Amino acid sequence: MTVQPNSIEARDAAYHMHSYTNARTLEAEGPLIIEEGDGIYVTDNSGKRYIEGMSGLWSVAVGFGEDRLAKVANDQMRKLPYYHTFAQRSHTPSAELAEKLIQMAPVPMSKVYFTNSGSEANDTMVKLLWYRSNALGKPEKKKIISRIKGYHGITVASGSLTGLPYNHMSFDLPIPQVMHAGCPHYSAFARDGETEADFVARLARELDDLIQTEGPDTIAGFIGEPVMGAGGVIVPPEGYWKAIQDVLKKYDILLIADEVICGFGRTGQMFGSQTMGIEPDIMVMSKQLSSSYIPFSALMMNDRTYQPIADETARIGTFGHGFTGSGHPVGAAVSLENLKIIEERDLVGNAARLSPLFLERLNRLAEHDLAKEMRGIGLIGALELHPQGDAVGVAGPALVNACMERGLILRPLGDSVAFCPPLIITEDQVNQMFDIVDDAIGTLSF
Ligand SMILES: Cc1ncc(COP(=O)(O)O)c(C=O)c1O
């Protein structure tokens, strides 16, 4: 890409440091500027249109350019553009959204706490667990078990929960209170001769051993995505979540479901916890909650989590935690309307109905010589390519680039390519998306 002097690309490269980007490459090549979006499509500033096969960052459930969300945001901005939720203040959108989320919860939940990103929600969750353990007179109960390849964000605490090297390297993470258990990716981590059932039993045994080694009284919680996203779209084997929950129950360890990607329909049910048979104590939500039209996130906790925390706020005199934007009225109003759209248009049903086609097309791609395996559930999936010699992480970006040239945006995750289209996608559009990948993969030569 040649950057024209004074172009928006040049100005961006000159002044804007980007997330998940090689800063030197950006300086030399400039960014791709996306100008507008409509349905499952986005258009760049040269007028080229792409299918957004990743819903942005796994998030734009209702598609781009949804007027109802723009209108609600505009109306709320005019009525009450901002108010906080500190010191016993509230407003109608955040009260209504909290009530709505509790009604939607797949297991009995007690309270919702609002934040502005998935990372903030997970960071808050860690603090809530620590606060609760202190409230219970168990100051040693502070460790949290996460998993290798899990993704939970990038703040100091949530970045520690994340089990991916890039999020730790040169950041001095993880913090010592976080440990990582095994990843439930069968084909990658099973030992020779191990069946799926053996693999699941071993992961549960290793978790039990880890808890025993650390001391059961030192572990406050276990966090996991029902289906791992950024770690490579990893659908756990049958029986995995039951086996994990059996171990956690034995030691009275809270279970936190990170629903930031799975929540609100992605797996073909409203929550990934339902698809995977998880009964969480805490659920963390973002992305499809507002379709990312506005930064917004929430966590929801059950009564056994909430009650000791509430007691501690009474003992201290306040809950010494809160963000200026917690429960922002515009974010809450947009989220409420977004949930209404998801329900009215039965987008969860759409994901469930189109899932067989989506998975069948992924399966067909997996027959290609360059492909190693496919993984998927609902409307989220990945195609993993064979690594090219020792060069891990070359094949995925090569396929993504070939798809970009043909008008489809996907995301490379090492040697895998992730698919996570908006939940409004139609049957024809699913076929169009995979036709492009079919064509693109045929042009790759390593
Ligand atoms: C499962 C999961 N949890 C947490 C996060 C962090 O969310 P955010 O990027 O909004 O901080 C992400 C982001 O991709 C995620 O996929």
Helix (H) or strand (E) holding 69: helix 67-79
Report percent pLDDT > 90 for the chain: 97
Compute the average pLDDT of residues 232-237.
98
Cα(313)–Cα(296) distance, integer angstroms? 25
For residue 57, the ligand 1 atom closest to its alpha carbon is: 14
For residue 295, the ligand 1 atom closest to its alpha carbon is: 10
Q: What is the band of 1 on the pLDDT scale with cuts at 50, 70, 90?
A: low
Residue 310, both tokens:
């509430």
Q: What is the band of 388 on the pLDDT scale with cuts at 50, 70, 90?
A: confident
Q: Mapping DSSP to helix (H, G, I), strand (E, B) and coil, where does residue 243 land? A: helix
Compute the average pLDDT of residues 313-342.
98
Q: Give yes or no for residue 389 having a pLDDT over 80.
A: no
Most ligand 1 atoms within 8 A of CB, residue of 158, 285, 287, 323 to mutate: 287
Q: Pick the residue with more confidence: 392 or 246?
A: 246
What does the pLDDT read at residue 359? Answer: 98
Identify the CA nearest to 384 among candidates 356, 363, 357, 409. 363
Compute the average pLDDT of residues 398-410.
97
Residue 298, both tokens:
């929430």
The CA-CA-CA angle for residues 111, 112, 118, to 5°, reads: 145
Compute the average pLDDT of residues 369-392.
92
Pocket of ligand 1 (CB under 6 A): 57, 117-119, 122, 151-153, 225, 229-230, 258, 260-261, 286
- The sheet with strand 371-377 has its strands ordered as 371-377, 380-385, 416-419, 411-413
What does the pLDDT read at residue 174? Answer: 98
Q: Give yes or no for residue 108 having a pLDDT over 90.
A: yes
Cα(256)–Cα(281) distance, integer angstroms? 6
CA atoms within 13 A on the CB side of 166: 11
Say how many residues make up the chain: 446
What does the pLDDT read at residue 2? Answer: 73
In the chain, % helix, strand, coil (3-state, to 5) comes to 45, 15, 40
Task: List pLDDT tens digits, range 165-195.
Answer: 999 999 999 999 999 999 999 999 999 999 9
For residue 150, the ligand 1 atom closest to its alpha carbon is: 1
Most ligand 1 atoms within 8 A of CB, residue of 260, 290, 292, 380 to mutate: 260
Cβ count near 129 (within 10 Å): 26
What does the pLDDT read at residue 96? Answer: 98
Helix (H) or strand (E) holding 133: helix 118-135
Mean pLDDT of the chain: 97
What does the pLDDT read at residue 387? Answer: 85
For residue 284, the ligand 1 atom closest to its alpha carbon is: 3
DSSP 326-347: TT-HHHHHHHHHHHHHHHHTTH
Residue 309, both tokens:
């925390």
What does the pLDDT read at residue 226? Answer: 99
What does the pLDDT read at residue 304? Answer: 98
Most ligand 1 atoms within 8 A of CB, residue of 151, 158, 284 to mutate: 151
For residue 118, the ligand 1 atom closest to its alpha carbon is: 7
Instruction: Number of helices (H) and strands (E) in the chain: give both, helices first.
Output: 16, 15
| Chain center to CA of 164 | 14
Compute the average pLDDT of residues 283-289.
98
Report percent pLDDT > 70 for the chain: 100
Atom 8 in ligand 1: which residue has the minimum CA distance? Answer: 118
Compute the average pLDDT of residues 25-50.
98
